[in-house]
Chain A
Amino acid sequence: MTVETRLPKLSTLSLVTMGLLMALQLVIKSFSVGPAFLKFSFTFLVAALVARLFGPWWGMMTAAVVDVIGTLMSGGPFFIGFTISAVLGSLIYALFLYGKPVSWPRLIIAQVIISVVVNAFLNTLWVAIMYKTPFWGLFPVRLLKQVIMTPIQVVLLYALFKSQMVNLIQKRLNL
C-alpha cells in the first residue's frame, strides 16, 4: 500500500466537482434514517467517492473542511477530535480505494477499520474527553451500532462504486 506524497494539481473541473461534492455532503448530512439511537447518514458515500476520485490528500483536506463547516453551521459543538476522525476516515478510504480496483475484500476491510477504529473507538474517546463521560460505558453501545451499520455501509459502497454513474464521472474527469 503506497501513499502519493505530492498534492496532485487540480483542473478547474476537478476543483468545482470537489466543491459540489462538499456541498452534497453538507446536504446529505441532513438526511438520516433510523431511530434516535441508531441514526444512519449517507455522508460516508460522498467521503469515500472523494477519496477514490481525488486521493488521500484532497480527500483528507476536504473531509476536515466539511467537518468543521458542517459542525459550525448546524450549531453543534466543534471539537478537533471529530475532525481528526473525519480526516482518518478519508485517509483509510483513499488507501484502499484510490487508483485500485473496487472489490468486496477491499471495501469490507476499509469499512471495518473505519467502523471499529474511527467510529467506535476514536469517536467514543472524543466524547469521553469532551464531556468527561465514562469511555467503557459508552463504547459497547457504540460498537454495537457499528456492528449493525457496517454491512449496510459496505453494500451501499459497493453499489455506488460499481454504478455506471461513478464510471461516467471518472471518465468525464479524465481520472
Chain B
Amino acid sequence: MSNFIFGRYLPLNSVVHRLDPRAKLLLSFCYIVLVFMANNPVSYLIIIAFTLGSILASKISLGFFLKGIRPLIWLIVFTVVLQLLFSPAGGHVYFHWAFINITQFGLVNSGYIFIRFLLIIMMSTLLTLSTQPLDIATGLASLMKPLRWVRVPVDTLAMMLSIALRFVPTLMDEANKIMNAQRARGVDFGEGGLLKQAKSLIPLMVPLFMSAFNRAEDLSTAMEARGYQDSEHRSQYRILTWQRRDTITWIIFVVAFAAILATRRW
C-alpha cells in the first residue's frame, strides 16, 4: 500500500552523474518532444541509440530501468491492447469481429506505442537515478528564474521547495510511526474494499497534518529568530556551474534531434 521511495539516486561516478542538473532537466523535458517527432523505424532507431548511449554512459545496470517500468506495466499493456484492437483500418486485416479490428496498421502502431512508453520511462528513470533530489530542486529553482519577469516569486517558491524536500524524510518517518501505532490498535491498512481502505487511512492523515503544522510553527519561529526575511537577495549554498560536458551533451542531443527531423515521415 505504501511505497516509501523518494528519489532513487544511485551514487556512481559517471559523466551522466556529473552533468549539471539544469542540463539534465532540460534534456528530459526536450526528450519527450524528440519522442513525439519519431514516426518511422529509422527515427525510432536513432532515439533508441541515443537512449541506450545515455544509459551506458551512466554506468547504471539495466535492471534498475526495468524496475522503473514495473509500476506502469498495466497502463502500458492496457494501452497497447487498446491500440491493437481498436485502431482504424489500414493494411492487411488479420482479424475482424464486430467493432474489433486487428490490422497491420494497428500492430505497427501498438509496437510504436510500446517503444514510446519504454523510452520515455527509461529516460525519466535515468534522470532520477543519476541526480540527487536536492540537485533536482536546485536545478528547477534555477530554471524558474526567468519567471521573475512575470513577477512569479521564484525565490519564495525555491525556499518552499527546499523546506519541502528537507521534511519529506521526516514526515515519512512520522507516517511510519503513526501507522505502526495504529496497527497496534488493530487498524488493518490495505485490507478490505476501497472504502474501507480509504477509511483506514484517515487516522493516519489527521495526526500527519497536525505534525506538519506543529513543525511549521517551530521552524518559522526558529527562522525569524535568526533574522529570516523573504527577499530576492538571498545567497545560496549550492551554486551550479555549466561545464563543457553539458554543452557537448546538448550538441549530441541537437544532432540526434536534427537526424530525427531529417528522417521522419512528414
Contact = CB atoms under 8 A, between A and B. Distances in A.
A138 interface: yes
Given A72-B128, A75-B129, A131-B116, A27 B168 contact: yes
Interface stretch (B42-50, B78-86, B244-252): B78-86
Interface in B91-133: 109, 112-113, 116-117, 120-121, 123-125, 127-129, 133
A62 B117 contact: no
A133 B82 contact: yes
Contacts, number: 202
B89 interface: no
Interface in A1-34: 7, 10-13, 15-24, 26-28, 30-34
A26 B6 CA distance: 8
Given A34-B197, A77-B121, A23 B163 contact: yes
Contacts of B213: 17, 20, 169, 172
Interface stretch (A35-43, A101-109, A110-118): A35-43
Interface stretch (B12-20, B152-160, B231-239): B152-160
Contacts of B198: 33, 40, 152, 156
Interface of chain B: mostly helix, strand, loop or mixed: helix
A61 interface: yes
A160 B3 CA distance: 24
Contact of A65 (B160, B200, B224): B160
Interface residues of B, number: 82
Contact of B82 (A12, A66, A134): A134
Nearest to B128: A75
B203 interface: no
A86 to B, nearest CB: 14
Nearest to A18: B160
Interface of B: 1-8, 25, 28-29, 32, 68, 72, 74, 78-79, 82-83, 86-87, 109, 112-113, 116-117, 120-121, 123-125, 127-129, 133, 136-137, 140, 151-153, 156-157, 159-168, 170-172, 175, 190, 194-195, 197-198, 200-202, 204-206, 208-210, 212-213, 215-217, 219-220, 223-224, 228, 230
19 contacts: A12-B228, A15-B159, A20-B167, A22-B164, A26-B164, A26-B168, A31-B2, A33-B190, A61-B152, A65-B160, A68-B140, A75-B8, A75-B121, A79-B32, A131-B117, A137-B86, A138-B82, A148-B194, A169-B209
Interface of A: 7, 10-13, 15-24, 26-28, 30-34, 36-38, 40, 42, 45, 49, 61-62, 65-66, 68-69, 71-80, 127, 130-134, 137-138, 148, 152, 156, 159, 163, 165, 169, 172
